[in-house]
Amino acid sequence: MKFEMVMPKMGESITEGTILKWLKSVGDQVTKDETILEISTDKVDSEIPAPVTGKLSKLLAEEGETVEVGVPIAEIETDAAIKIQKEKAGKEEQPESPDTSKTNTVQKSTAKPLNTNRFYSPVVLNIAKEHGISNDDLEQIPGSGINGRVTKKDIKNFISNKSYPAARKTIPRGPEISSAKGMIETIPMDNMRKSIAEHMIHSKQTSAHVSLYSEVDFSNVYKIREGNKNSFKAREGFSLTYMPFIVETVVKALKEFPMLNAALDGDKILIKKFYNIGIAVAVENGLLVPNIFNCDEKNLIGLARAIDDIAMRARTKKINPDELANGTFSISNFGVFGTTIGFPIINQPQVAILGVGALKKRAVVIDDAIAIRPIVYLSLTIDHRLIDGAMGAQFLQRIGSLLEDYDPQLIV
């Protein structure tokens, strides 16, 4: 019997995914929960396991193809297929019908009603409406999806290729530049890099970025880590880092300065009473910022476990897209690469982000005497539409004082 494997729903806001790579070929045996392909969404790249054990008999979607959630992408021959499909049918809801209200919205915005049997997803219809694409133009877009369906990638390619009047722009030509053959390598941007680029540009165009920085004496935190690192690793199985201390102090400071844990919604200020802290994680060819939810409910050890967990899963493509949403404040630890100071871009729709530099021992003046201390530069980028320099400086100073006030004899 054959089991239909469909494009999985990776998160509440995810409507489609792009197949990056099939790790198995037609005719290969696959085992349930074995990774058989990689997909990319507009939030994260993920490894997808086989839903059943059997033989991969047919691929219904090729690499590079964007497929909507719930659409079949492969067939697996298995004796257990009928039983599993029946169980699945009993547990899962039926797919939603196309959003006719959105379809009608697009129809009203064009001169000619859409008279076709071709199905357009709500995502495609929204993009068409946003860019003023007429129904006639929509009909002319070649579809790369199943049965010739127009995907999000298809309509975006149509727009970027200047294939309709609203997208055409006159670009002045500069002087011709010649180059020796083979001296320039052209590499297409992958989905993750495109998503990062769009997110960063959106942030800079949305928020009025202002950056501050301060130096913090990590002597006490340094002593805690040195005194506990061996026993901690033996017990927990991973190394104790400085990040749990930073997250813990950030949450305490956010409670004292709630505007830093807010978001702007037009002319309204949304002050969050929960603390979902995003931790920037460098991954292959990009960066992810998964969130640790409800950080105020975790102690230092709980935060250390959560930080290690999301970092490991981010690097192995196991992060759920929903973990990349609903953050209230973010931290970028570029110090792990030896960088002393930097000014990160705000992670929208948040209003601030903390940057953490490398810990370096420096000569500092304490009580009119020179001493060697482990120093870390912390930077804070704020959205000046909501946060003024005085509040940002006080918040940053508070984080620093909390870090400096840790008990050096603390047992972790």
pLDDT at residue number 267: 93
For residues 260 and 381, membership in a common domain is answered with: yes
Residues 378 and 213 sit within 8 Å (Cβ to Cβ): yes
Q: Is there a domain that residue 225 lies in? A: yes
In whole angstroms, how far apart are CA 373 and each of 335, 370, 380? 17, 10, 22
Say what percent of the chain tops pLDDT 90: 58
Q: What is the CATH number of the domain that holds 13?
A: 2.40.50.100
Q: Note if 388 is an active site residue.
A: yes
pLDDT at residue number 112: 35
For residues 244 and 314, membership in a common domain is answered with: yes
Chain segment 240-283, per-residue pLDDT in tens: 999 999 999 999 999 999 999 999 999 999 999 999 999 999 98
Say which of 33, 384, 405, 407 is annotated catalytic.
Answer: 384
Tell me whether residue 380 is exposed, middle or buried, using C-beta atoms within 10 angstroms of its C-beta: 0 to 12, 13 to 18, 19 or more.
buried
Q: Is there a domain that residue 263 lies in? A: yes
What single-letter amino acid sits at 260?
L
Peptide bond between residue 349 and the one before it cis (omega within 30 degrees of 0): yes
For residues 78 and 127, membership in a common domain is answered with: no
Say what percent of the chain tops pLDDT 70: 83
Phi and psi at residue 15, to the nearest 5°: -115, -15
For residues 338 and 224, membership in a common domain is answered with: yes
Concatenating the DSSP letter of every residue in 105-151 gives HHHHTSSS----S----HHHHHHHHHTT--HHHHHHSPP-SGGGPPP
For residues 328 and 287, membership in a common domain is answered with: yes
| Residue where a domain stops, chosen among 69, 91, 113 | 91
| Residue where a domain stops, chosen among 32, 62, 91 | 91
Q: Is there a domain that residue 187 lies in? A: no
Q: Is there a domain that residue 198 lies in? A: no
pLDDT at residue number 101: 41
Q: Is there a domain that residue 111 lies in? A: yes
| Residue where a domain stops, chosen among 167, 190, 216 | 167
pTM of the model: 0.69
Q: Where are the alpha helices (DSSP H) in 14-134?
A: 81-91, 100-108, 122-130
Q: Note if 199 is an active site residue.
A: no
Domains in the chain, number: 3
Query: What's the pLDDT band for 113 if we cut at 50, 70, 90?
Result: very low
Q: Is there a domain that residue 202 lies in? A: no
Given the DSSP bridges, would you call strands 352-356 and 369-383 parallel, antiparallel or unpaired? antiparallel
For residues 300 and 349, membership in a common domain is answered with: yes
For residues 112 and 86, membership in a common domain is answered with: no
For residues 60 and 114, membership in a common domain is answered with: no
* Mean pLDDT, the chain, integer: 85
Q: Is there a domain that residue 40 lies in? A: yes
Query: What's the pLDDT band for 11 if we cut at 50, 70, 90?
Result: confident
For residues 119 and 36, membership in a common domain is answered with: no
For residues 395 and 284, membership in a common domain is answered with: yes
For residues 267 and 360, membership in a common domain is answered with: yes
Structural domain of residue 17, as residue ranges? Answer: 2-91
For residues 158 and 289, membership in a common domain is answered with: no
Q: Is there a domain that residue 189 lies in? A: no
Say which of 33, 79, 388, 405 is annotated catalytic.
Answer: 388
Inform me whether the pLDDT recorded for 169 exceeds 60: no
pLDDT at residue number 88: 62
Q: What is the CATH number of the domain that holds 347?
A: 3.30.559.10
